[in-house]
Amino acid sequence: MIELKQNRLNFSFPEVSPDARLTIEFQRTLRIPDDDQTYPLPPGLGKFPLEHVDDYASRVPERWVQRGGVMLPMYQAEALWINFNFHYVQDRESPYPFAVKISAGKIDAVTGENWDEQLHRKPQDYVVIPRQPWLDGYCIRRGVIRQFVAMPLGAGYSAEEQITGEAEHGGLQIKVFPMRRKAFERRFPVVRKRRMMRSRRCFPEEAPLEALFARKVDSMALAPGGQMSQEIYDDEFPFHEWCHKTSSRCFVHLVNTEVWRGITGKKPPTKPPKARDYTNAGLPWFDYYDERPAVPGQEKLSNLQSVAELAEEKRQNVLPENDPVDPQNVVGLRKGMRLGQVREGCF
Amino acid sequence: MAAEFGDYVRKCREKKRAQSADFSLRKLAQRVGIEPSYLSKVERGQESPPSEATISSLAKELDEDPDVLLALAGKVSSDLQKIIRKRPKLFAQLIREMKNMPNHAVVRVVREVRDGDW
């Protein structure tokens, strides 16, 4: 089952285990420059607001109501990352593991294949929680993703439109599979250890800003933006340990910010800062270290053209403020660091 | 009531204290804005549980559910009271009907994000 609480999607599987709980939120962030460089991880700038589509059924397209799920507002060319907050099972000193399929416009963000209800191992078309703390975009090659950037559905920029030639779905699709209870309890017996540290700086939500209103519901889709260093970690568990028959899924509709208030009556968030202003202010970017193997990128995604490349072909200016930046303040985060442990830097 | 609440808070704090010195009586009391001697008495059941705001702060510090701590203290959070006051008859009936239901059945009553036809 999925509940929407405090702008988070809470997935739980009481029929599998009371510990099988996972929280997913969508973080606002800087749009990294879409150029030849590969950037470190940008910060989280607060959660996107989320609303039940059913609560606004009379003001959204009928197709959205048919799909169900939730919706969130995005500015054109705004970026997003997905944060996986796992539930730590104290007496086993381990989070409950999940396999999570993420698609944008029903194109799998890890493989580029069309949406499919099942998990697949070869090639792996899902991320494994808690190994994967977040996902910022499409996996284009081992250790590199292209950032999720919102563009109007139908403008031709989204991965969905580039791969299928159709502008039908847009949005984000998420499906969560828990690990089998027996497998979890066997792998993680009751022990007592110290808690691990894991944090990517997330700023609190900012106050909403006045936004324009337009009586038109524009669906947004996620297009491949600038390149970022991020591994999609290989599944370390045997494939049969996932509950293939127990899952929950959610369609996340993306609404153009300009019409968000028209639908919900609520103010949308302000525009996020520009990467250049953020960097010049000396605020931190992030690098995440984990030595575990990562999956390679698949051809369908590595062949995608970025928004900037397509915009140049189309002679459109859809990415204002796309100048390169040079992040100097890069904070290293390493999987498995204990609270209070001193991090080894570069010297 | 006071003893049950105090005992629960003490156990939670001592569990945290085993991992971090930040959860000494003094430091925790300081963070939630009360005197250490008062927190000590609350933990021993010699004082009534503190206000809703303090219980919520304690819950936040101890990574506990504020509703659980409030219930142990014999209180109902003000936001829940507000919800019940809006439709008192309906919620009273609902709670009475649910009192013997197993947990898995109760959690099914909460509002789920609806999945539709993609």
Residue range of the domain that includes B13: 2-72
* Top-confidence range, A2-6, A71-75, A322-326, B80-84: A71-75
The three-class DSSP label of residue A96 is coil
| Nearest-10 crossing angle of helices B52-62, B2-17 | 30
Q: What ipTM, to 2 d.p.?
A: 0.73
* Residue B11 counted as domain residue: yes
**Residue B3: CA atoms inside 13 Å, Cβ hemisphere, count?**
0
* Residue B13 counted as domain residue: yes
Residues of A within 8 A of B116 (CB-CB) are 65-69, 251
Higher pLDDT, A212 or A30: A30
Contact A69 B116 (CB under 8 A): yes
Cis peptide before A123 (omega within 30 of 0): yes
Over range A16-29, report the average pLDDT. Answer: 94
CATH number at residue B23: 1.10.260.40
Residue A211 has pLDDT above 90, yes or no: no
Q: Which two tokens stand for residue A45?
A: 């700038």
Residues of B with CB under 8 A from a CB of A: 19-20, 103-104, 107-108, 110-118
- Give the pLDDT band of residue A337 (cuts 50, 70, 90): low
Contact B112 A52 (CB under 8 A): no
Residue B88 has pLDDT above 80, yes or no: yes
Contact A54 B112 (CB under 8 A): no
Residues of A with CB under 8 A from a CB of B: 1-4, 9, 12, 14-15, 18, 52-54, 65-70, 106, 115, 169, 173, 194-195, 248-251, 339
Rounded-to-integer distance, Cα A67 and Cα A129, Å = 26
| Domain count along chain B | 1
- The confidence score (pLDDT) of residue A21 equals 95
Q: What average pLDDT does the structure give for chain A?
A: 88
- The confidence score (pLDDT) of residue A311 equals 93
Residues of B within 8 A of A251 (CB-CB) are 115-116, 118
Higher pLDDT, A98 or B117: A98
**Residue B67: CA atoms inside 13 Å, Cβ hemisphere, count?**
3
- Give the pLDDT band of residue A186 (cuts 50, 70, 90): very high
Residue B32 has pLDDT above 60, yes or no: yes
Over range A30-55, report the average pLDDT. Answer: 93
- Give the pLDDT band of residue B104 (cuts 50, 70, 90): low
Tell me the shortest Cα–Cα distance from B95 to chain A, in angstroms.
Answer: 20
- The confidence score (pLDDT) of residue B54 equals 96
- The confidence score (pLDDT) of residue A208 equals 38
Q: Which of A195-204, A267-276, A291-300 has the lowest mean pLDDT?
A: A195-204
Determine the residue among A251, A338, A339 to mutate to test chain B binding: the one whose Cβ has the most chain B Cβ atoms within 10 Å.
A251
Cis peptide before A130 (omega within 30 of 0): yes
Pick from A9, A15, A195: CB nearest B104:
A15
In chain A, which residue's Cα lies nearest the Cα of B105? A14
Residue B48 has pLDDT above 90, yes or no: yes
* Top-confidence range, A205-209, A246-250, A272-276: A246-250
- The confidence score (pLDDT) of residue B106 equals 74
State whether the Cα torsion B20-B21-B24-B27 is positive or negative: negative
Q: Which of A84-98, A228-242, B32-46 has the lowest mean pLDDT?
A: A84-98
Task: Print the SS3 string covering A242-298.
Answer: ECCCCCEEEEEEEEEHHHHHHHHCCCCCCCCCCHHHHHHCCCCEEEEECCCCECCCC
Residues of B within 8 A of A173 (CB-CB) are 118
Q: Contact at 8 Å (CB) between A117 and A177?
A: no
Pick from B20, B110, B113: CB nearest A70:
B113
Rounded-to-integer distance, Cα A72 and Cα A233, Å = 27
- Give the pLDDT band of residue B102 (cuts 50, 70, 90): confident
Domain boundaries, chain A: 2-334
Residue A216 has pLDDT above 50, yes or no: no
* Residue B37 counted as domain residue: yes
Residues of A within 8 A of B114 (CB-CB) are 52-54, 68-69
- The confidence score (pLDDT) of residue B107 equals 63
Residue A197 has pLDDT above 90, yes or no: no
